[in-house]
């Protein structure tokens, strides 16, 4: 036997009954092999690691009224949950286009859908920002339906290497496409205190924006490189010591969530991209074409609401949702990440 032969490396397994780290959750990361384990996680109202549970699927499909032979766009492919349901509605007739900027998750989703039988004859996937929707329609022609789910996918949130969550140690990145632009860590090195305070207020309605911005800039001025998620979390935690102890833990958790959201929106230019997308939608829809947009915080919802209302007043849309549609209580209980979702729709004249 060759003495240089390497010893067999055992897979990282669950420690105890409740694995905590992303890599230990090997069963959740292989849903096709461990369906029972994944079902148990979902049954407890949680999202399995490496997966994303699509939100408001029933409500979206009821509105879009997709029929075989139509042409549509899923502007935010993600895990492909909404895409899959729309493909089923097409029944192998017509065509669905899908876009996403994430170079890590997009190939995985493409492979999953191909294994389910949805290849290029019915589905075209492009790695691109949805603000370039006009480039899609140059190829597809007018669209019968468009869906955009503006939420960050669970795969991105749960993977500590992406740096989207303060709950796990990881690089302070927050880019939807880590191959382009500057990370959140790089952004903090160049920002002023006033600009940071404004970002936290405008992008996330953070009530303690002044104290948090002051604490972050103070650390940077000391020459400290804020390069990890836990570093930023600790700075926010220290900045909020003035909050009464009985309310502090909850306040810290909420402020961390808002601050990470604000940075993510800034790093990815999310409001600017959404505004451009909303401006282009009417020209890409066929007569009677339908658009549904799922948002997850007030800033996004305001942009969608105002855009739909303006085009409705101008006669571009013949009908818009009178109010935002919220997920059912049952869905929120089964998927906690659905609780902040708001669905709005419009129909082209």
Does residue 1 lie in a domain region? no
Q: How many CA atoms lie within 13 A of 295 on its CB side?
A: 18
Does 161 fall in a domain? no
| Pair (189, 243) in one structural domain | yes
- Residue 325: φ, ψ to 5°: -95, 130
Same domain, 80 and 143: yes
Would you say residue 197 lies in a domain?
yes
Same domain, 187 and 253: yes
| CA distance linking residue 6 with residue 2, whole number of Å | 9
The verdict on 72 and 135 lying in the same domain is yes
Pick from 332, 339, 331, 334: nearest CA to 58: 331
In Å, what is the CA distance from 237 to each residue of 47, 157, 161? 27, 21, 22
Q: Name the helix (H) or strand (E) containing 24.
A: none
26 pLDDT higher than 70: no
Q: What percent of the chain has pLDDT over 70?
A: 85
Instruction: Output the pTM of the full model.
Output: 0.82
Could you tell me if residue 160 is inside a domain? no
Q: Is residue 162 part of a domain?
A: no
Report whether pLDDT(163) > 90: no
In the listed set 5, 36, 51, which residue is the last one of a domain according to the structure?
Answer: 51
Domain match, 133 and 108 both:
yes
The pLDDT tens digits of the residues spanning 38-47 come to: 455 545 545 5
Q: How many structural domains is the chain composed of? A: 3
Instruction: Tell me the residue range of the domain where 249 lies.
Output: 178-267
* Same-domain status, 257 and 308: no
Give how far the C-alpha of residue 242 lies from the chain's centroid of Cα atoms, to the nearest Å: 33
> Is 165 contained in some domain?
no
Which tens digits make up the pLDDT trace of 266-308? Answer: 999 999 999 999 999 999 999 999 999 999 988 999 999 999 9
């Amino acid at each position: 036997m060759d003495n240089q032969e390497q010893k067999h490396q055992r897979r990282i397994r669950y420690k105890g009954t409740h694995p905590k780290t992303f890599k230990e959750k090997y069963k959740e990361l292989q849903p096709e092999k461990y369906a029972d384990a994944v079902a148990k996680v979902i049954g407890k109202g949680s999202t399995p690691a490496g997966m994303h549970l699509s939100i408001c699927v029933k409500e979206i499909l009821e509105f879009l009224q997709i029929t075989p032979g139509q042409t549509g766009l899923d502007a935010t492919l993600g895990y492909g949950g909404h895409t899959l349901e729309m493909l089923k509605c097409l029944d192998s007739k017509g065509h669905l286009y899908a876009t996403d900027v994430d170079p890590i998750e997009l190939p995985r989703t493409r492979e999953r859908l191909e294994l389910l039988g949805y290849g290029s004859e019915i589905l075209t996937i492009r790695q691109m920002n949805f603000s370039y929707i006009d480039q899609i329609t140059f190829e597809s022609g007018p669209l019968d339906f468009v869906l955009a789910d503006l939420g960050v996918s669970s795969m991105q949130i749960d993977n500590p290497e992406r740096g989207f969550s303060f709950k796990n140690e990881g690089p302070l990145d927050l880019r939807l496409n880590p191959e382009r632009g500057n990370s959140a860590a790089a952004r903090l090195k160049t920002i002023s205190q006033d600009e940071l305070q404004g970002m936290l207020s405008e992008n996330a309605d953070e009530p303690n924006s002044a104290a948090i911005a002051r604490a972050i800039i103070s650390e940077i001025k000391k020459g400290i490189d804020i390069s990890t998620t836990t570093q930023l979390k600790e700075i926010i935690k220290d900045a909020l010591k003035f909050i009464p102890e009985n309310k502090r833990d909850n306040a810290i958790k909420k402020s961390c969530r808002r601050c990470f959201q604000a940075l993510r929106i800034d790093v990815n230019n999310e409001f600017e991209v959404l505004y451009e997308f909303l401006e282009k939608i009417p020209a890409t829809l066929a007569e009677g074409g339908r658009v549904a947009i799922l948002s997850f915080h007030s800033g996004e919802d305001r942009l969608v609401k105002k855009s739909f209302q303006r085009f409705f007043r101008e006669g571009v849309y013949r009908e818009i949702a009178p109010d935002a549609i919220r997920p059912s209580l049952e869905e929120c209980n089964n998927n906690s990440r659905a609780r902040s979702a708001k669905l709005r729709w419009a129909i082209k004249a």
